[in-house]
Chains A and B, each alone.
Chain A
Amino acid sequence: MAQGEVLLEVKDLKVHFPTGDGLVKAVDGLSFKVHRGETFGIVGESGSGKSVTCLTALGLTNLERAEVSGEVLFHGNNLITLNKEQMRSVRGKELAMIFQDPFACLHPLYKVGDQIAEAILCHDSCSKKEAQGRVIELLGEVGIPKPKERYAGYPHEYSGGMRQRAMIAMALVHNPHLLIADEPTTALDVTVQAQILELIDRIKNEFNIGVILITHDLGVVADVAQTVMVMYAGRAVEMGSRDELFSRPLHPYAWGLLDSIPHIDQRRQKLVPIEGAPPSLINVPKGCAFHPRCPHQFEPCNKERPALEDRGGGHLDACHLSIEDKRRMWEDREARAAKAGV
């Protein structure tokens, strides 16, 4: 995969929320890069810090309530240090986003077309007429049938899939360089999910932009992402190319996730769940945050926090096990699965 220029670089990002019960370390030292022409998948369970990372990048965390440190570099600007006015000139223009619930994101009393036109008029000084023309063009682009008539439709007249298409149209109004999609298909049915994922993929290629796709669904990531980062308790535990990560995952947490998902093309006798529950972010376990649930934990796991290290070929993980041990364990597991499989 030829990599384009680096669009977004996150360096040692920390987002902590002081609360009455203690400090919630939602994101705790996260670094990654997103390139042009790449879909960067972030997976993790609820509360792993996926969404907070992106909200912070978009300047949508309340800085009066949160302690943010680190850098989010976008076109050389550190987004965290921008003031509200400066942020507003970037957000929605070069940096666009789509959220999970397309109904909650559209105002129920305004026409969908007008809402998208408003997004155009925010940053461009063009006439309302011109904006309307552009909206109709965009609605057609994202696959809404009869865009001219649909311009005047209200959100409740749109189906879930169409609302999400409208949100994507709104995100595209200023030809963004980077699109952040936070669980864009979670609220949709599988057949509609397939349509939306295909649309996002097509737009990425057509406009040559970068996409950050946040999801809890490993299947979605495996289908559309080129690079994948797995998050656990506010940190990245594994990062690498999609092929590497799904054919030879390194981190025991990634193994656990793969083992606990029922597959549609093969029926296994028994799922192997990860024991226990994700930790509270106020009281993250010492050492490796995953160690209390890890079947392979040993001496240093509960004392020292493993660093995220390159294990060869741009495949990173944060774990105390040696790479040889990991490879051996994964091969054993594959052999066992092949034996048990039908």
Chain B
Amino acid sequence: MSQVATPPEPVVSSEKTTGDPLVAVENLTKHFPITNGIVLQRQVAAVQAVEDVTFSIYPGETLGLVGESGCGKSTTARLVTRLLEPTSGSVWFDGRDITTLSRREMRPLRREMQMIFQDPYASLNPRQTVGQIIGTPFRIHKTEGETRKKVQALMERVGLNPEHYNRYPHEFSGGQRQRIGVGRALALRPKLIVCDEPVSALDVSIQAQILNLLQDLQSEFKLTYLFISHDLGVVRHISDRIAVMYLGHIVEVAQATELYDHPKHPYTSALLSAVPKGHSSGSLTERVVLQGDVPSPIDPPSGCPFHPRCPKAREVAGGEGVPDDCRSEMPPLGDVLENHVAACWYPVESGEAIEKAAHA
């Protein structure tokens, strides 16, 4: 560990993204081995969950991470907080490469990065009271002052009644339980909070309450969020910049408005058009409906992982098959516009409507 390394250059720069990034992820890869045999465990294959991912998160911003189930969003979140060890690549947090730190060296950094999980019930210990749950971070990190007072102040801040200090998680509704999770994440005043689908399990009216709370807390405590969701409406609402993932790769990163108005990657474009719009003008027939399912990350397609489903590739190739470069080589994440990167050989032009894919 005597190597002298420096953080990578930021990939994207803009108003909120000036200065040094808080988190810089560089060529991060995670493969989960699949083994065979009982005594001698031979590795027969690997789930390529995250593949050569590079991105940065700047202080005070919210980076949204979207994609379908199984695309590696949650694995990325766990790698960033080092709950998983990467296969290769590095994660820089506040100027230090955390992938090389020991457990002991990691511990003081843990208070700087916290997580909020999807299922607010499964992520709370049913045998601990709210006071114990939110108070645990204070005890672990041996903070000064009276824990009870601090916990009650936190409860009040996240919209819980401080008198409920001695209640158990089952006595709360889903939205309130998520507030407990937020309170616990906030306890040690972290710099980064990784939110893994924090509102997916909640009803819409409650979802809006939690989103507003997260936004208020961000401006009050100068928090930085990595916000993971499969709900494109939610991600647009809360994010400054958005990264789109497909099968372990980041395929596009841009400012929120920019990404929704001018998607460059055909996958982003199809994803956006698949969302029910919630008003009568968006009828079913105008959509790009992708054919087939997401391929298996054990045996991903060669070249661009999206090429077997890509309507644009088929168009470029003249209706049948796909162009050779799509099939043979993974396109690099390159600039397509200012502050807008996409990994595609044939990015979607502004105003171009992707043809509805023919039935396979």
Which A residues have a C-beta under 8 Å from some C-beta of B? 45-46, 143, 145, 159-162, 189-195, 197-198, 201, 216-220, 222-224, 242-243, 246-247, 256-265, 267-268, 270-275, 277-278
Give the chain A neighbours of B256 by CB distance below 8 A.
Answer: 267
CA distance A280 to B317 in the complex (A): 58
Which B residues have a C-beta under 8 Å from some C-beta of A? 68-69, 173, 175-176, 203-209, 211-212, 215, 230-234, 236-238, 256-257, 260, 270-272, 274-280, 282-284, 287, 289-291, 293-294, 359-360
B272 touching A264, Cβ below 8 Å: yes
Give the chain B neighbours of A273 by CB distance below 8 A.
Answer: 205-209, 212
Given A195-B289, A262-B211, A264-B260: A220 touches B237 (CB 8 Å cut-off): no
CA distance A194 to B284 in the complex (A): 8
B205 touching A190, Cβ below 8 Å: no
B230 touching A260, Cβ below 8 Å: no
Closest chain B residue, CB of each to CB of A224? B284
B233 touching A45, Cβ below 8 Å: no
A190 touching B271, Cβ below 8 Å: yes
A217 touching B209, Cβ below 8 Å: no
B204 touching A45, Cβ below 8 Å: yes
B360 touching A145, Cβ below 8 Å: yes
Given A256-B205, A273-B205: A198 touches B278 (CB 8 Å cut-off): no
Closest chain B residue, CB of each to CB of A158? B293
Say whether chain A's binding surface is mostly helix, strand, loop, or mixed: helix
Give the chain A neighbours of B211 by CB distance below 8 A.
Answer: 262, 271
Closest chain A residue, CB of each to CB of B206? A277
Q: List 23 A-B contacts (CB under 8 A).
A: A190-B275, A192-B68, A194-B284, A198-B289, A218-B204, A219-B276, A219-B277, A219-B278, A222-B276, A223-B276, A243-B280, A260-B204, A260-B207, A262-B233, A263-B236, A263-B277, A267-B256, A273-B207, A273-B208, A273-B209, A273-B212, A278-B203, A278-B205
The contact of A189 among B69, B173, B276, by CB within 8 Å, is B69
The contact of A223 among B215, B260, B282, B293, by CB within 8 Å, is B282
The contact of B233 among A46, A143, A160, A264, by CB within 8 Å, is A264
The contact of A246 among B208, B233, B279, B359, by CB within 8 Å, is B279
Closest chain A residue, CB of each to CB of B289? A194
B278 touching A261, Cβ below 8 Å: yes
Closest chain A residue, CB of each to CB of B309? A191
State the Cβ distance, B65 to closest chain A Cβ, in Å: 15
B293 touching A159, Cβ below 8 Å: yes
Given A45-B204, A246-B279, A278-B203: A191 touches B270 (CB 8 Å cut-off): yes
Closest chain B residue, CB of each to CB of A263? B233
CA distance A220 to B233 in the complex (A): 13
CA distance A191 to B212 in the complex (A): 27
Given contacts A191-B271, A194-B290, A223-B282, 5 further A-B contacts (CB under 8 A): A191-B274, A198-B284, A261-B208, A262-B233, A272-B208
CA distance A257 to B236 in the complex (A): 18
Give the chain B neighbours of A261 by CB distance below 8 A.
Answer: 204, 208, 233, 278
CA distance A108 to B270 in the complex (A): 32
Q: Nearest 4 CB-CB pairs, A to B?
A: A219-B276, A262-B237, A273-B208, A260-B208
Give the chain A neighbours of B69 by CB distance below 8 A.
Answer: 189
The contact of A271 among B237, B272, B280, B293, by CB within 8 Å, is B237
Give the chain A neighbours of B237 by CB distance below 8 A.
Answer: 262-263, 267-268, 271
A265 touching B208, Cβ below 8 Å: no
The contact of B293 among A161, A243, A272, by CB within 8 Å, is A161
The contact of A197 among B236, B280, B284, by CB within 8 Å, is B284
State the Cβ distance, A244 to closest chain B Cβ, in Å: 10
Given A191-B271, A270-B212, A271-B237: A222 touches B277 (CB 8 Å cut-off): yes
State the Cβ distance, A264 to closest chain B Cβ, in Å: 5
Closest chain B residue, CB of each to CB of A342? B257
CA distance A258 to B204 in the complex (A): 9
Give the chain B neighbours of A217 by CB distance below 8 A.
Answer: 276
Given A264-B236, A267-B257, A268-B237: A190 touches B203 (CB 8 Å cut-off): no
Give the chain A neighbours of B257 by CB distance below 8 A.
Answer: 267
Q: Could you say which of A193, A243, A262, A263 has the most chain B C-beta atoms within 10 Å of its C-beta?
A: A262
The contact of A222 among B175, B212, B279, B289, by CB within 8 Å, is B279
Given A222-B279, A260-B208: A191 touches B203 (CB 8 Å cut-off): no
State the Cβ distance, A273 to closest chain B Cβ, in Å: 3
State the Cβ distance, A197 to closest chain B Cβ, in Å: 7
A194 touching B203, Cβ below 8 Å: no
B275 touching A246, Cβ below 8 Å: no
CA distance A262 to B293 in the complex (A): 27
